[in-house]
Amino acid sequence: MFLFLQTTLNGLVLGGLYSLAAVGFSLIFGVLGIVNLTHGIFVVAGAFGALVLYNEFGLDPLLAMLPVGIVLFAVGYIYQRTVIHWAISRASLVASLVVTFGVAMIGRNLMQLTFGPDAHSITPSYSFSSLTFGPLQIDVVRVVALGASLVLLLLLALVLAKTHFGRAVRATAQQPLAAELSGLNVQRLHGLTFGISAALAGASGAIIGIVQPFTPASEVAWTLNAFIVVVLGGIGSPAGALVGGILLGLINAYTAQYIGPSLTQAAMFLVLVLMLLLRPNGLLGNAFGESR
Amino acid sequence: MSKTILSGRAVTKKFRGLTAIEDVEFDIPEGAIYGLIGPNGAGKSTLFNLITGYYALTSGEIRFFDRDLASLPTYRRNQAGIARAFQISKPFPALTVRENVRVGAMFGKPERTNFDIVTDEALSIAGITELADRTAEGLTVGALRKLEIARAVATRPKLLLADEPCAGLNPTETEEMVQCLRNVRERGTTVWLVEHDMRAVTSICDRIIVIDAGRKIAEGTPREVVNNPKVIAAYLGTPVEDGN
Amino acid sequence: MNRSLAIIAALAALIVIAVLPLWMPPFYTRVVQLFFFSAALATAWNILGGYTGYWSFGHTVFIGIGAFASAHLVTHLGPFGSGPWSMVVPVLLSGLICGLFAAILAYPILRLRGIYFAIAMLGVGQVVGELVTNISWFQGGVGVFLAAPVPQGMPPEQFFYYLFAGLLILCLAVSFWVRHSRFGYALLAIREDEDTAMMLGVATERYKIAAFVMSAVLVGLLGAVYGYTVGYFTTSSVFRLDFSLNMIVFCLIGGIGTLFGPVIGTAVMLLLTQVLLSGFLDIHLLITGVIVVAIILIMPGGILGALRPKRRASASKAEPAAKVQS
């Protein structure tokens, strides 16, 4: 029973991370209809950014989330306004799938050239301390990671629900043409959506860096995780990302504990395929309706 | 004119409480060109959807060559010989015009024939032989509409239901479409079309059926129909309905 | 091109292929062998991805199954005769096993469209790979042996050169037949608009499954022979993500949905990465990425698409439908 509780706890923590790492992917998918295969690059780039800031300036990874997020916001915005926009206007929406895939290859190779192919991790002073609740034990970094993820997700949810920007994003997702006719600058909104998505991915990368090791090649796994989270939870909303992320975290933790740590990927994909067949719009559906 | 190809008896369709089609009767003779007109929302599309099986009848029956259609799903009705050309054409964009038509020729009927001959014939009936090697994307609305007709004709139907084939076409294109529908009939296919363009309808139809608010209000030759007071009232609004 | 000219060109190509390895240095024989193998894979992928519009991101699963099936057939039931002919039975059976696996998989997975199908196939590739590694009977973790019965006096690279040349010709023949048959028209119609195709009387389900199985069998045969070329392999040497991705990239670059596009794309990319830039191993990925992005932005129809202006806009449509499955 304790084992089960401990596993569940680990799954929840992992789930929080998956949610934050995936929410930007989900937003882009919902608003622009693009499956952004560069997403994992943003995550891993965030982790490397935090690593550099920690090694060079001793900046705590949690604080590094801010500068990393700002830089990646700019990268994401420019990326959408140039490459993504060109791909969509010259070819088709699906061509953007291939383009983002190509850019991911470039990004991975650049990171490999800069940091080498080996695994890195960030180890701040609190890396090895842990909290105990009766018989349950949890690392401080994991509690911090979960907390930070939830705070950022909540912030995003508030922004989407309450602000003018959030309403504009939702309008653009549902009826791009109508939104444009009502005076919204759809291109700019798409750029901002990409920017926010990249910033959140980078922030999650900074946290991931203290919780688990990462390599340039991990980007594939993070892109796939994001896809699975979206399929499980639903497209375009922080709530969907949270539900999907936590489910994925639990599946991961239970599989590792009760079936075998080497079968976690197989279990994740099995659930993915089953979910696609049974409920293709995710548990919470598409936040922006069936507009696409 | 010989046998009746399509007949409807007390055809009725209700959507929840709303009656879309009520007690409509029709007999389309083989080899004719019939028109179906009526004001917007009269139920023309619903009627066509009932014939192709997209909707199920609430009551009444529709017979195709004395065969009750009720038990046949859409694709079987297509194979039995009822084809439909849509107003919004859905071509296969990256395929050439000929390839588009060829798909209709190959799969419209279970039996195999010389698909080249069927394809070429359908292209010439629709008057798009010279466009055959162009890809479907980038065609004009008029050409797309003809492609839609050609693809339907290539399935070798006995009855073609055409959904507003002239909508949005300029006068020249309308004239060509009228000729195209005449060609379809020449080939031995009965045509029933919904159309708003009164000049087109009156110039090609043998007879016209008029429905309004789900009921049939008139049937006759184009001349009879346009002079029918009920039809005029339906289109212009009767003094009772139209208070101001 | 007129018919007799095409036949003469094909015969000339055959003769060149036949005599080439007799004077070519072994290194180039191996490069051309790799070219035949990769081009055949891309051609097989193209039947499903190019003609039918179902982009599989996990086709390496059939390479893996083909290779492992051959190894286990030979280990447990072999040998199947002696000399080079002993390869025939295991290779054919491996293709058959891939076909069966695809047929079972097809029914659920082909209900998915577009990106969902693509990613689900990626998942299938990962899952099967992990199962082969972790279920001890398959020996995917420790590896399996598959000795190649190379004829005496023949260099192995020559032997496999001819084998892969034969398989490429087989794949091209199947692809050619598909493109010009009623079956192929059904696939094109499915790619362009599955619902309209169904309305015109195309039995979409049946044709999709047939295309999937056909593509899987060809890749399975190639995977089995590939297993013989490496002689010893683990899961990670045959269930390889880069195999899956190369099939897509080569088709994209040459011209997806065309007969020779996959072959041309493979030739261009291998020339670039294996010959011209063979000294820059650590930036292969970067180069491939740049080329992929450039191709999409500059000539979405691939090389063949760009050569035929009339169909320029067309070939880019050979992609999975953009719609989200709902």
- DSSP state letters, C195-218: HHHHHTT--HHHHHHHHHHHHHHH
Beta-strand pair A136-139/B33-37:
unpaired
| Among C318, C212, C211, CA closest to C255 | C318
Domain ranges of chain A: 2-118+127-278
Residue B27, CA distances (Å) to A188, B7, B78, C201 in order: 59, 4, 19, 27
ipTM of this predicted structure: 0.81
Banded pLDDT at A292 (limits 50, 70, 90)? very low
Q: Read off the pLDDT of each residue in A170-178 and give the average, rounded to a whole number.
A: 79
Q: Answer whether residue C41 shows pLDDT above 90.
A: yes
Q: Which residues of chain B fall below pLDDT 70? A: 1-2, 237-244
Of the candidates A94, A101, A290, which has its C-beta nearest C322's C-beta? A94
Residue A130 CA neighbour count, 13 Å, CB half: 11
Which of residues A136 and B133 earns the better pLDDT score? B133
Q: Per the CB < 8 Å rule, is B106 touching C192?
A: no
| Among B172, C57, C109, CA closest to A274 | C109
Question: What whole-number distance in Å separates Cα of residue C219 and Cα of residue A240?
Answer: 38
Residue C57, CA distances (Å) to B42, C116, C119, C124 in order: 50, 10, 6, 9
- The interaxial angle of helices A238-254 and A264-278, nearest 10 deg, is 130
Distance from CA of C202 to the nearest CA of B (A): 6
Banded pLDDT at A287 (limits 50, 70, 90)? low
Q: Answer whether residue C124 shows pLDDT above 80.
A: yes
User: What subunits touch chain A, counting only 3 or more CB pairs under 8 A?
Assistant: C
> Residue C297's pLDDT is what?
84
Quick one: CA dihedral C255, C259, C265, C266, positive or negative?
positive
User: What subunits touch chain B, counting only 3 or more CB pairs under 8 A?
Assistant: C
Q: Read off the pLDDT of each residue in A179-200 and give the average, rounded to a whole number.
A: 87
Banded pLDDT at C97 (limits 50, 70, 90)? very high
Q: Which residues of B200-218 are buried (b: 16+ CB within 10 A; e: fewer)?
A: bbbebbbbbbbbbebbbbb
Beta-strand pair B190-194/B207-212:
unpaired
- Which of C54, C107, C112, C116 to probe the A interface (max A CBs under 10 A)? C116
Is the CB of C240 inside 8 Å of chain B's CB atoms?
no
Q: Answer whether residue C322 shows pLDDT above 60.
A: no
Q: Which two tokens stand for residue B107?
A: 């799969």
Q: Answer whether residue A117 shows pLDDT above 60.
A: yes
Is the CB of A94 inside 8 Å of chain C's CB atoms?
yes
Tens digits of per-residue pLDDT, C130-167? Answer: 889 888 899 988 999 998 888 888 888 899 999 999 99
> Residue C321's pLDDT is what?
39
Query: 3-state SS of chain C: helix, strand, coil percent to 5?
Result: 75, 0, 20
Question: What whole-number distance in Å separates Cα of residue A284 and Cα of residue B45?
Answer: 35
Are there at least 3 beta-carbon pairs closer than 8 Å between B and C? yes
DSSP A133: E
CATH architecture of B1-81+191-244: 3-Layer(aba) Sandwich (3.40)
Q: Answer whether residue C253 shows pLDDT above 50.
A: yes
Q: Answer whether residue C319 shows pLDDT above 60.
A: no
Chain B's closest residue to C203, CA to CA, is B107
- Domain A2-118+127-278: which CATH number of 1.10.10, 1.10.3470, 3.40.1350, 3.30.420: 1.10.3470
Chain B residues close to C320, C-beta within 8 Å: none
Is the CB of C157 inside 8 Å of chain A's CB atoms?
no
Q: Which two tokens stand for residue A276?
A: 């696609």
Question: What whole-number distance in Å separates Cα of residue A245 and Cα of residue A13?
Answer: 10
Q: Answer whether residue A281 shows pLDDT above 80.
A: no
Chain CA centroid to CA B88, Å: 13
The residue type of A226 is: A
> Residue B244's pLDDT is what?
40
Q: Answer whether residue C89 shows pLDDT above 90.
A: yes
Is the CB of C76 inside 8 Å of chain B's CB atoms?
no
Q: Residues of C numbered 268-297 whose beta carbons fall under 8 angstroms of chain A's beta carbons: which are they?
A: 282-286, 288-293, 296-297
Q: Per the CB < 8 Å rule, is C120 touching A276?
A: yes
Of the candidates B106, B151, B155, which has its C-beta nearest C182's C-beta? B106
Q: Answer whether residue C316 shows pLDDT above 60.
A: no
Domain ranges of chain B: 1-81+191-244
Q: Which two tokens stand for residue C262?
A: 């996959």
Is the CB of C201 inside 8 Å of chain B's CB atoms?
yes
Of the candidates A92, A109, A112, which has its C-beta nearest C319's C-beta? A92
Q: Per the CB < 8 Å rule, is A277 touching C108?
A: yes
Query: Model pTM?
Result: 0.84
Is the CB of C314 inside 8 Å of chain A's CB atoms?
no
